[in-house]
Amino acid sequence: MTRFILHILLLFAAPGMICSQHYLLQVHPTAGGKTKLLPDSPRETADSMGTYLALKVMLQELRGEGYLAASVDSLVFDTLHVSAYVFAGPRFEWGSLSFDSIDRKVLRRAGIRERSFSGKPVKSRKLASAQERILRVHENNGYPFASTYISQIQMDGPVISGNLHVKDNGQFLIDTFHIKGEARIAPAYLEKLTAVETGDVYREDRIRNISNRIRETTFLEEIRPYELEYFGGKVDVYTYLKKARANQFNGIVGILPNNEQTGKLLVTGDLHLSLVNPFGKGERFYIAWRSLQPLSQELDMSISWPYLFGSSIGIGVDFALFKQDTSFFSVNPVLDLKFFMGGTNYFHAFFDYFNSSLISTWGLENAVVLPPNADVTSSLYGLGIQFNNLDYYFNPRQGWDIRSRLGIGSKKVRRNPALPEQVYESVRETSTQMKGTAEVRFFQSLGGRFTLHLGSRTGYIRNDDLFANELFRLGGIRTLRGVDEHSIFASFYSLGTLETRFLFEQNSSVFLFVDGGYYEQSLADDFEADYPLGFGAGINMQTRAGIFSLNYALGKQFDNPINVGNAKIHIGYINRF
């Protein structure tokens, strides 16, 4: 009876006993109640309520380790000291805990082995974990209301035996996926996106992930959390959605003083238009025009259509044109076949066709070797992956964004009739080529409004006879800040980014950054390598008219000193609608 009264006191301390005085709590094991789990040294508690809570936690820990009869026999307050006399009691063990009534497939999926209980201490956390894993398997296979219980409990002193059972309480199927709100989206797309499809068995893991899947789209927002309605073995899912402002028009103006090619101030342009979900099926259209160097222009277009005809397959078409002053003109269409893993993440197989031709051959009539640029064609087949779990795509605080692709195929060097025949004698006209890229971005909240951004970009082209017009182009606001736009031609590169951001609004931030790395330019008759570096600061400011950005960057290449007069200033504008 005394122990019972002490238990009540520990749970419901009288208000009059609570004070702000600090106490030193010393635990004394009673006769026959010694255990290593009881603390030897005294500990300080904030007040009398803190003392009671500390003893309550200690009893929970003891019972969780198998000391089911643990209790506080007496409690003595003496000025600043408290003495607690604790009876641990015997440690209870499982004689046997039978799982015979549960399907063996369920036990394997739950990772449970019967021998991990028999003869072992009765640990409440371990038992609760096993029950939770069993229920999780049932919840993810159509039984959301399954429950567990132990029957035929027998006790022989501190030895306990029993049988663990599962009651499934009936299987449930997804009946209808309802979309409420102003969002224009096809139900079939949303079902594929969330992997919660009509006619499928109820799966708790997919249901709980509905909000995350919707957030990944960037063009949908939840008005309020989804709801479920259970009836007669069926489940209706209700989502409440509105259209997010995901379409984008943005432009960047770059001011490059003392440009090496012209010796004058150069203003560059970079304009982008992105339309997302115009027909309500998650499709994307993108077009970008750039004029980044004198007499040079670039045009990129792409179309992406996910979940074709209610399947998990999507298609994508990219088309790029690039003109490098009067040197060469390149065309690069890419056809993608995407296999979605749920949400917006996917594996893809692609065909990459590249064709580049010389524009001007003036001065090459008497050449004895091929110039740095040549007429080349390549056809590559490959695989890739795209994965992200960013909490907010446009200005993330945490999460990963991973994109990687690798292609292999054939390359052909085409003879140009304006060049002498002998320049092709030392070049293999047909060869094998490999090309791969990988990009990883990681965001981690540092507490408060600060976020750390770590990034890595790598690219590699493998061929014995490479030419400048088929290499990667690096430099500028999107790859290496502080370096002229697309001024570096590389056959291999590995770049890193370290950036600290202070987010003062959802789409507004100030940041400090460092971009740097290593690249190689390995041509047939030339090799170049360097460790470029760029660093600076910037701001993104959201206004009613859109998001304005300003970047100030200094760069360093080769052994040249940092020149403040050659700083790069990038002014950008993004309008989402």
**Where do the domains of the chain lie?**
2-87, 93-167, 173-243, 248-576
| Helix 124-139 with 48-64: angle, nearest 10 deg | 70
At residue 14, the pLDDT reads: 40
Q: Around 261, how many Cα atoms within 13 Å sit in the side-chain half-sphere?
A: 12
Q: What φ, ψ does residue 409 adopt, rounded to 5°? A: 180, -150
Residue pair 346/385 in contact (Cβ under 8 Å)? The answer is yes
DSSP letter at 91 equals P
Residue pair 431/410 in contact (Cβ under 8 Å)? The answer is yes
Give the fold, CATH level 3, of 93-167. Answer: Ubiquitin-like (UB roll) (3.10.20)
Region at 142 (left for phi over 0; alpha for psi -120 to 50; beta for the rest): left
Residue pair 570/252 in contact (Cβ under 8 Å)? The answer is yes
Q: What φ, ψ does residue 380 adopt, rounded to 5°? A: -120, 145
Q: Around 554, how many Cα atoms within 13 Å sit in the side-chain half-sphere?
A: 8
Record the tokens describing residue 65, joined without a space. Answer: 């380790």
Record the tokens describing residue 211, joined without a space. Answer: 């909000």
Q: How far apart are CA 496 and CA 457, in angstroms?
A: 6
Burial readout 285-305 (b: 16 or more C-beta within 10 A, e: otherwise): bbebbbbbbeebbbebbbebb
Sheet holding 173-180, edge to edge: 173-180, 234-243, 220-231
Architecture in CATH for domain 248-576: Beta Barrel (2.40)
Residue pair 515/497 in contact (Cβ under 8 Å)? The answer is yes
Position 205, amino acid: D
At residue 262, the pLDDT reads: 56
Q: How far apart are CA 157 and CA 94, in angstroms?
A: 11
At residue 377, the pLDDT reads: 97
486-503 residue pLDDT tens: 889 999 999 999 999 999
The number of beta carbons lying within 10 Å of the beta carbon of residue 522 is 17
Position 8, amino acid: I
Position 13, amino acid: A
Quick check: do 173-243 and 248-576 share a fold? no
Could you identify the residue written with the tokens 């690798």?
406
Residue pair 142/201 in contact (Cβ under 8 Å)? The answer is yes
Residue segments in the chain with a per-residue pLDDT below the cut of 50: 1-19
Architecture in CATH for domain 173-243: Roll (3.10)
Residue pair 266/484 in contact (Cβ under 8 Å)? The answer is no
Question: Which of 247, 441, 236, 209 is CA-nearest to residue 341?
Answer: 209
Position 22, amino acid: H
Position 434, amino acid: M
